[in-house]
Amino acid sequence: MATRERWRCHALSVDYGQRHRAELAAAAKLAQALGAVEHRVVQLDLRVFGGSALTDSSIDLPRAPSAGIPVTYVPARNTIFLSLALAYAEVREARAIFTGANAVDYSGYPDCRPEFVAAFEKLANVATKRAVEGAPIAIEAPIIHMSKAEIIRKGIELGVDFSLTVSCYDADGEGRACGSCDACRLRREGFAAAGVPDATRYRR
């Protein structure tokens, strides 16, 4: 969506000790396929804090929807990620940061809500040299109000190869999905609602 609007995109991923590390390889392939200027990976091990099934293998991944915020929530993850992106954006003299947060068909994470994105944008523009000197940075979240079905339809319109993407919390080394975690459920329901064949690679 950003490249369609003629942004020059510098992609950033974070290797934070996540169980589903296949997403890092998928991000590199997608960045190249979709025309990013570059793709960088920051290493920051959030396993030191724990508190999430995505960083602590002793916590079981949920296999059914749960009440409240699920154990797959990583404490302050999007705040940390956007802070890293903010530093990168300032060095690159970028005018915007694009993030894929979604607040419609999602797991209920508090840092995926529009209120969070708006608050972080305010923070960004009082915390950086560029903004203080008159060059504010926008935080763009173009899919935040879209359903999974709408996201899939938009992706197909833009030529996204969804077989390259990884959503699964328990993907294997080849990026094949488990088919039973919460992320797989939401993704599968999205393809069904979009009326589009599921391009996900499942291991069974």
Residues in the chain: 204
Judge whether 21 and 168 are in contact, CB under 8 Å: no
CATH topology of domain 10-194: Rossmann fold (3.40.50)
The confidence score (pLDDT) of residue 20 equals: 87
Low-confidence ranges of the chain (pLDDT < 70): none
Three-class secondary structure of residue 127 per DSSP? helix
This prediction has a pTM of 0.93
In angstroms, the Cα distances linking 34 to 27, 114, 158 are 10, 26, 9
pLDDT in tens, 5-32: 999 999 999 999 998 899 999 999 999 9
DSSP alpha helix (H) spans, 45-166: 77-92, 114-127, 129-132, 148-157
Q: How far is CA 157 from CA 54, 92, 151, 173, in A?
A: 31, 29, 10, 29
Q: Is residue 111 within 8 Å of 77, Cβ to Cβ?
A: yes
Question: What pLDDT does 204 receive?
Answer: 77
166-to-29, 88, 120, 187 alpha-carbon distances in Å: 11, 24, 26, 10
